[in-house]
């Protein structure tokens, strides 16, 4: 990247330098042509003022005399004179090779006036013949073309071509190239230094920013991992608390049965007591199995999806025997669309089972408990309703805080555990006003983002 930047900068400096070199060279050549043209016009004016008789009757010979005087100036090595159409007329010295001017040259002279061309190495045998012979060499020459006219006349009467020694112009060009080279080198060096300093400063800033970004990314990744671990630990802790809470009621029932049996040791246990003990044992076994399954899947990372309809069926299977034992009917509906992963489905199941069991316990025989699943664009809602007496206002105010339970053997933390499980899902658990029913209405809402498309 740095090398490419320096290369591009060097190319820019080179292009600017060569453009400036060409422009200054043109200015030098224009200066030389204007100087010779001015000198020629001065000779014309002097000749016409003195009416010097050179024995040249024709107008073209008078023009030749003007150019001849100019050719005596220092440095002029040859001259040629052309008529207005560019046809060769005469030359000095006579060894100069005859050559006509092209139409392109005539057009430039008509538009731009005098012009000069520098030939850094011009072969003399291309300009002279005969006299040069074996001593012909290539030398620097300045070629100047200029239109000529008489004083007080606009139209041209001829064209003069002067060949001037180009050593002075070559030396000036050499000095120009040397100066431009030094200036270009200085500009490139200074610009490169500034570029290196600027890029170095920018790269250091970028490197420092990159290190900071890498550090913050690493910290963010660790924080995300810690949050994920905390969420998983929180969920597992809540599930474990659910296990303790779920075992407490069956254990209390067994304790009461054993105590009653011990007091009345002389009499055999009643059949309904044995059935209650067996039901409590089954409930404990089912709770333990559920929690062990959840913890095993959480540890192994096993992932699969469950349709919401199957989640409702799973919840129904867990609480149906309890509803039947109390003579309470249970129905569920909804959930025809959408699926949850096994982790979310298990946690939703724990919450719903706890809510439905509370609803069954609060209901009398012949009443109904319902579960309904509603899938919306942004969230999924699970509604649990019963026909019981409802909750007292004092209980509603702290419904999700651990309190003393009014149920026999209750710990008062079931709803608090369900509330924490809902939070671990990114959702919420709310108590709503029942519409058309006398009992309580709980709503579990989880974001649609947890669903599997």
Task: State the DSSP code for 124.
Answer: G
Which domains are delineated in the chain?
A: 2-165 (3.30.450.20), 234-452 (3.30.565.10)
From first CA to last CA, the distance across the chain in angstroms is 46
8-35: per-residue pLDDT in tens? 888 998 999 999 999 999 999 988 888 8
Percent of the chain with pLDDT over 90: 23
Task: Please provide residue 234's backbone torsions phi and psi, each rounded to the nearest 5 degrees.
Answer: -60, -45
Cα(173)–Cα(78) distance, integer angstroms = 22
pTM for this model (two decimals): 0.43
Confidence band for 148, pLDDT divided at 50, 70 and 90: confident
150-208: per-residue pLDDT in tens? 665 555 678 888 899 989 899 999 999 999 999 989 988 888 888 888 878 888 888 88
435-444: per-residue pLDDT in tens? 778 889 999 9
- Region 369-384: mean pLDDT is 93
pLDDT of 131 strictly over 60: no
Task: Please provide residue 145's backbone torsions phi and psi, each rounded to the nearest 5 degrees.
Answer: -115, 135
pLDDT of residue 337: 87
pLDDT of 37 strictly over 70: yes
287-333: per-residue pLDDT in tens? 666 666 666 666 666 678 889 999 999 999 989 988 998 899 999 99
Angle between helices 271-300 and 167-263 (to 10 degrees): 170
385-420: per-residue pLDDT in tens? 999 888 888 888 888 876 645 555 444 567 887 888
* 3-class secondary structure per residue, 270-322: CHHHHHHHHHHHHHHHHHHHHHHHHHHHHHHCCCCEEEHHHHHHHHHHHHHHH
Confidence band for 62, pLDDT divided at 50, 70 and 90: low
pLDDT of 54 strictly over 90: no
Confidence band for 266, pLDDT divided at 50, 70 and 90: very low
- Region 77-95: mean pLDDT is 86
* 386 contact partners, CB below 8 Å, separation of at least 6: 359, 360, 362, 363, 367, 368, 369, 370, 437, 439, 440
pLDDT of residue 415: 82
- Region 327-354: mean pLDDT is 89
Cα(309)–Cα(216) distance, integer angstroms = 43
Strand, helix or coil for residue 205: helix
Cα(382)–Cα(31) distance, integer angstroms = 97
Burial per residue of 355-378, b for 16 or more beta-carbon CB atoms within 10 angstroms, e otherwise? bbbbbbbbbeeebbbbbbbeeeee
pLDDT of 425 strictly over 50: yes
pLDDT of 130 strictly over 50: yes
Residue 341: how many other CB atoms lie within 10 Å: 16
pLDDT of residue 429: 93
Cα(370)–Cα(383) distance, integer angstroms = 8
pLDDT of residue 269: 57
222-256: per-residue pLDDT in tens? 776 656 545 554 555 555 555 555 555 565 565 56
How buried is residue 292: exposed, middle or buried, by Cβ count under 10 Å (0-12/13-18/19+)? exposed
pLDDT of residue 371: 95
Confidence band for 446, pLDDT divided at 50, 70 and 90: very high
Cα(6)–Cα(14) distance, integer angstroms = 12
Burial per residue of 175-190, b for 16 or more beta-carbon CB atoms within 10 angstroms, e otherwise? eeeeebeeebeeebee
92-110: per-residue pLDDT in tens? 888 888 889 998 888 888 8
């Amino acid at each position: 990247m740095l090398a490419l930047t320096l290369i591009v900068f060097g190319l820019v400096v080179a292009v600017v330098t060569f453009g400036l070199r060409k422009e200054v060279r043109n200015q030098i050549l224009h200066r030389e042509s204007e100087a010779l043209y001015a000198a020629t016009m001065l000779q014309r004016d002097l000749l016409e003022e003195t009416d010097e008789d050179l024995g040249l009757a024709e107008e073209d010979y008078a023009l030749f005399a003007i150019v001849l005087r100019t050719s005596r100036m220092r440095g002029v090595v040859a001259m040629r004179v052309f008529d207005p159409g560019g046809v060769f007329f005469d030359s000095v010295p006579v060894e100069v090779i005859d050559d006509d001017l092209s139409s392109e040259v005539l057009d430039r002279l008509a538009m731009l006036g005098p012009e000069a061309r520098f030939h850094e190495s011009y072969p003399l045998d291309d300009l002279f013949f005969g006299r040069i012979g074996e001593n012909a060499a290539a030398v620097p020459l300045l070629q100047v073309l200029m239109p000529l006219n008489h004083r007080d006349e606009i139209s041209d009467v001829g064209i003069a071509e002067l060949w001037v020694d180009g050593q002075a112009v070559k030396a000036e060009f050499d000095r120009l190239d040397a100066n431009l080279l030094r200036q270009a080198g200085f500009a490139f060096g200074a610009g490169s230094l500034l570029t290196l300093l600027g890029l170095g400063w920018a790269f250091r800033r970028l490197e420092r920013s990159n290190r900071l970004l890498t550090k913050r990314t690493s910290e963010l990744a660790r924080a995300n991992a810690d949050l994920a671990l905390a969420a998983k630990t929180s969920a597992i802790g809540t599930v474990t608390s659910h296990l303790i809470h779920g075992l407490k009621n069956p254990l209390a029932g067994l304790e009461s049965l054993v105590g009653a049996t011990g007091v009345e040791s002389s009499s055999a246990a009643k059949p309904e007591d044995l059935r209650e003990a067996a039901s409590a044992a089954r409930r404990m076994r089912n709770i333990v199995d559920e929690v062990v399954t959840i913890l095993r899947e959480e540890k192994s990372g096993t992932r699969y999806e469950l349709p919401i309809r199957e989640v409702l069926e799973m919840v129904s299977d867990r609480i149906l025997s309890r509803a039947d034992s109390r003579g309470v009917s249970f129905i569920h509906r909804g959930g025809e669309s959408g699926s949850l992963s096994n982790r979310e489905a298990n946690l939703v199941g724990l919450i719903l089972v706890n809510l439905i069991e509370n609803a069954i316990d609060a209901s009398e025989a012949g009443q109904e408990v319902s579960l309904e699943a509603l899938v919306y664009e942004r969230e999924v809602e699970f509604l649990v309703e019963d026909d019981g007496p409802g909750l007292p206002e004092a209980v509603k105010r702290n419904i999700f805080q651990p309190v003393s339970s009014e149920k026999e053997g209750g710990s008062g933390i079931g709803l608090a555990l369900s509330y924490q499980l809902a939070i671990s899902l990114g959702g919420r658990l709310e108590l709503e006003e029942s519409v058309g029913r006398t009992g309580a209405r709980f709503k579990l809402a989880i974001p649609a983002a947890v669903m599997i498309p």
